[in-house]
Amino acid sequence: MSRLVIVSNRVPLPDEDGNLPAGGLAVALHAALKKRGDGLWMGWSGKVREAAPTDHLDEKQIDGITYALTDLSESDYDEYYAGFANRVLWPIFHGRLDLAEYARKEMSGYFRVNRLFADLLTPRLKDDDLVWIHDYHLIPLAEELRRRGVTCRIGFFLHIPWPPSDILIAMPVYERVLRALCAYDVIGFQTDLDLANFEECLRRENVGGQVEERIFRAYDRMFVAGAFPISIETAEFAQLAEVADTGDELVESTKNSLVGKHLIIGVDRLDYSKGITHRIEAYEQLLIDHPERRGNISFLQVTPKSRSDVPEYMAMQKKVAELIGRVNGSLGTADWVPTRYINQSLGRSALAGLYRFAKVGLVTPLKDGMNLVAKEYVASQDPADPGVLVLSRFAGAARELKGALLVNPYDTEMTARTIEQALSMPLGERRERWRAMMDHLLVHDVNHWCEDFLATLTSEKPGQRSEDYLLDPT
């Protein structure tokens, strides 16, 4: 079996006791690395130095896996990570042209760091390795590896949406990005809609398109592209929630503080794509439309900070805090606070237990590649008395979770009505909707996602090896 090499911007290192970072993705990828033996995971260490070394990787061997890490210089961090990745690609791929801050310097920093990764990785690769590169930070990496003579199979998974062509082409360097993506042997998107957008971009640019089931031809290369919806460790998460229901202190004290009240929960990184302000406004609308609900429900929004050095994120932090203050100030009473807002991360067990306790899971991003919170909420429910998932139609998860109540998060009144529908849904309907989603997630868990992608990348069908794909090696 070929060795697996994973490359991602950040590397989820096990702690000193060998425990893996929480989260299904890290667990599934570690399992895949171990299964194939002698696995390698390369990425940024998370450290920024005035001038970072560009000639070696720091290597750590833990439990049979080699972690190869590089620091970034201050300018690399500013231009590649905080700049092009998070102020150009992230907003544009989430349809927020208004928030994209394009600067030529940052674009060149993005390609420079990808060249650095390629320089550092190339000497470590063997011809029969399987290389799996993750996410928008590293789109140009395969092209750079090919330029250095690497011939092994290289796959890419995009965790965020792929935009429609009208949005993509608003990005000044879109052609370089689109061409670079086509250097992979397998490109994985979250949903069929992302795949369709990608195809549309190729056709509109007149550079190629789909030639048969999953096989694409563009820029004189052939490759596979498909939808590989990411998921969670469903059974393990369900178990975690069941244990936390009675065994977690925070869950217990939260329940005690909400006797006789229904909990509505939202959990998101602090990010403008997650629709947090729209969600709070919908909740406010619900309280205005249904005064009888006041005092009987509570909305808990758990929002760990992220990317705090990117200006759009700082602005958003302020906006959310102000809005929550407005709702609590205008609708709260001396003995009831409508919204509880937590700006830090909770433990995984507490999170699972709170999902289970919440009658409604509010997952209403304006745009999201998948959204794992939606799947975690479903997995956490008590089969005998499950809560209801209210889910944005703009989350990738909406393509799969058919038992959710779908909403358009831009439509405040409709979202408010849907929360009310969720709160008053009869038990029979709740069970039926939940069962369909849970059955789906038990089969389509994160291991299924991982194996499906790797099986496609490994596929040795005639005409599918990397060398054959290179129709025009010049």
**Residues noted as catalytic:** 159, 368
Q: Does 250 bind ligand GDG (CB under 6 A)?
A: no
Applying CB under 6 A, the site for ligand GDG has a residue count of 21
Q: Considering Cα of 412, then 413, then 416, then 418, what sign does the dihedral take?
A: negative
Q: Residue 227: beta bridge partners?
A: 189
Q: Show contacts with ligand GDG in window 213-242 (CB under 6 A).
A: 230
The least CB distance from residue 383 to ligand GDG, in Å, is 21
Does 86 bind ligand GDG (CB under 6 A)? Our answer is no
Q: Is 295 left (phi over 0), alpha (psi -120 to 50) or beta?
A: left
CB of 388 to ligand GDG, least distance (A): 18
Strand partners, 154: 131
Q: Which helix (H) or strand (E) holds 6?
A: strand 4-10
Q: Which stretch binds ligand GDG (CB under 6 A): 168-176, 287-295, 342-350, 436-444?
A: 342-350
Helix, strand, or coil (residue 428): helix
For 280, the 3-state DSSP assignment is: helix
Count of C-beta atoms within a 10 Å radius of residue 474: 4
- The total of other beta-carbon atoms located within 10 Å of residue 289's CB is 14
Between 152 and 280, name the residue whose CB sits nearer to ligand GDG: 280
Q: Which stretch binds ligand GDG (CB under 6 A): 137-145, 205-213, 248-256, 364-372?
A: 364-372
C-beta of 37 vs 46, nearer to ligand GDG: 46
Q: State which of residues 302, 324, 398, 401 lies at the interface with ligand GDG (CB under 6 A).
A: 302
Is residue 435 part of the contact set for ligand GDG (CB under 6 A)? no
Of residues 201 and 346, the one with the C-beta less far from ligand GDG: 346
Residue 439: half-sphere exposure toward Cβ, Cα within 13 Å: 8
The least distance separating ligand GDG from the CB of residue 135, rounded to whole angstroms, comes to: 8
Does 71 engage in binding with ligand GDG (CB under 6 A)?
no
**How close are the terminal C-alpha atoms of the chain, in Å?**
31
Q: Give the amino acid at 325.
A: G
Where does residue 78 fall: left (phi above 0), alpha (psi -120 to 50 degrees), or beta otherwise? Answer: alpha
Out of 208, 369, 386, 409, name the contact with ligand GDG by CB under 6 A: 369
- Select the residue interacting with ligand GDG from 70, 371, 456, 466 (CB under 6 A): 371
SS3 47: strand
Question: Contact region for ligand GDG (CB under 6 A) — 102-110, 216-224, 371-379, 381-389?
Answer: 371-379
CB of residue 370 to ligand GDG, shortest distance in Å: 3
Question: Does 265 interact with ligand GDG (rule: CB under 6 A)?
Answer: no
CB of 363 to ligand GDG, least distance (A): 8
Least CB distance to ligand GDG at residue 134 (A): 9
190 versus 415: smaller Cβ distance to ligand GDG: 190
List the one residue from 76, 368, 400, 445 that touches ligand GDG (CB under 6 A): 368
CB 175 within 8 A of CB 143: no
User: Among 214, 348, 448, 465, which residue sits at the site for ligand GDG (rule: CB under 6 A)?
Assistant: 348
Which region, judged by CB under 6 A, interacts with ligand GDG, from 29-37, 46-54, 316-324, 367-375?
Answer: 367-375
- CB atoms under 10 Å from CB of 235, counted, come to 13
Supply the minimum distance, in Å, between the C-beta of residue 367 and ligand GDG. Answer: 9
Residue 224 bridge partners (DSSP): 186, 215
| Nearest alpha carbon to residue 174 among 102, 119, 113, 109 | 102
With 0-12 / 13-18 / 19 or more C-beta atoms within 10 angstroms meaning exposed / middle / buried, residue 253 is exposed
**Distant-in-sequence, close-in-space partners of 50: CB < 8 Å, separation ≥ 6:** 73, 74
d(Cα 233, Cα 392) in Å, to the nearest integer?
22
Dig out the tokens for 439 from the structure.
């059955």
Query: Measured from the CB atom, is 222 or 398 closer to ligand GDG?
Result: 398
Other Cβ atoms less than 10 A from the Cβ of 181: the count is 24
Question: Counting contacts by CB under 6 A, is residue 29 touching ligand GDG?
Answer: no
Rule CB under 6 A: say whether 95 interacts with ligand GDG. Answer: no
Contact region with ligand GDG (CB under 6 A), list: 208-216, 235-243, 287-295, 341-349: 341-349
Provide the token pair at 195. Answer: 């795949």
Nearer to ligand GDG, 150 or 264 (CB): 264
Categorise residue 61: left if φ over 0, alpha if ψ from -120 to 50, beta otherwise.
beta
Residue 203 or residue 269: which is nearer to ligand GDG going by CB? 269
Q: Is 345 helix (H, G, I), strand (E, B) or coil?
A: coil
Could you tell me where the DSSP H helices lie in 62-187? 74-76, 90-93, 104-121, 141-147, 165-168, 174-181
23 binds ligand GDG (CB under 6 A): yes
- Among residues 225, 267, 360, 446, the one that binds ligand GDG under rule CB under 6 A: 267
Residues in 140-199 at the binding interface with ligand GDG, rule: CB under 6 A: 159-160
Site residues, ligand GDG (CB under 6 A): 22-23, 159-160, 230, 267, 269, 302, 304, 345-348, 351, 368-373, 376
